[in-house]
Amino acid sequence: MSEKVNRLWYKRHLSPWLWWCIPLTWFFIVVSGLRRLLFRLRLRKTYRADVPVIVIGNISVGGTGKTPLTMALVELLQANGFKPGIVSRGYRGEGPFPQQVNADSNPAQVGDEPYMMAVVTGVPVVVAPKRAEAVKILTEQNDVDIVLSDDGLQHYRLGRDIELAVVDAARGLGNGWRMPCGPLREGWRRLKRADHVLINGAKDTDHAAKVLPKLAKHKPPVAMQIAAQGWRRVTDGSEIETPDGESVVAVAGIGNPKRFFNLLSGEGLDIMETRVFDDHHHFSASDFFNVSNLYPVVMTEKDAVKCRSFARPHWYYLKVAAQLPESFNAALIQQIRGLNNDH
């Protein structure tokens, strides 16, 4: 998705540049609505796993913070005695699918986010465009008692016990239109059916409610923050106090690069130059041929895993983690324990 389209989608109103897409949007609404109806009427089968399944997704295109949330939930579940595993589509991965991910996997084959999650969390991760296939392999070949699906809110073939929907506080739902006129895969009312809606970047509950006032009338959204956890060297993951030099070159191949750049500014870095690549971009050394050795390069952890083989010593990534209210954590664990009685 190009930055230009992204800017048009996240204006307050539908841009005249996108008016020609209106017929395509209505076609998208009809097709996606019929697809949902087939699953509701049980004319298409839904796969139900033997263990609880939690889907972490969104209704908009682009980065909202699903992956940091998934990794935070892994820690929460482990701290409460569960053995979680993760499934993912493996977006932009070359395959073959399905495939279990480990530290020896190639990010180009399995996808950058699944590879990062497998390395960072250490829990079993399986990728497949058909999430039901991934869940079968994950539960049959690994000792897991709960499954986290990173993305897949619209993947109705996979039955789920709990839905967590993530919305970016700064961008909200953009212009409110469905694709391709806007960033939405489904209308805002879809959030009413999710068990919990988390607003990434909201300072507190009141702030979260202001991001989606229509939804707040039906259920209180949960405030969520992505917090910096310190700097690491791209070459070997070793910790450093702060990037060397007065100014840095910031690189991002993620769904919402502006949020990352704002986070860097909040860390006190002077950003001399920003370089934005498409989300899930397959980095190569040629992408950095004209980057001066005089300035440190900083990036996300997701981008770093793809640059490690050719990284220079003064390239760094900022480790981040999702922070959630204790009240939400307690309520979610209680909800999950109730599910275990049903499985």
- Output the known binding site: 60-67
Cβ 312 vs Cβ 294: under 8 Å: no
Element (H, E) at 248: strand 247-252
HSE-up of residue 68 (Cα within 13 Å, Cβ side):
26
Tokens 């900083």 correspond to 298
- Estimate to the nearest angstrom the gap between the alpha carbon of 260 and the chain centroid: 13
Binding site for ATP, by residue number, is 60-67
Cβ 159 vs Cβ 49: under 8 Å: yes
Rounded distance, CA 289 to CA 271, Å?
19
Q: How far is CA 127 from CA 58, 144, 168, 239, 241, in A?
A: 19, 16, 25, 29, 34
Cβ 196 vs Cβ 223: under 8 Å: no
Cβ 107 vs Cβ 305: under 8 Å: yes
Rounded distance, CA 153 to CA 59, Å?
8
Cβ 132 vs Cβ 146: under 8 Å: no
Report the relative pairing of strands 146-150 and 125-127 from DSSP bridges.
unpaired
Rounded distance, CA 173 to CA 323, Å?
22
- The DSSP 8-state label assigned to residue 310 in this structure reads G
Cβ 9 vs Cβ 183: under 8 Å: yes
Tokens 């899930």 correspond to 280
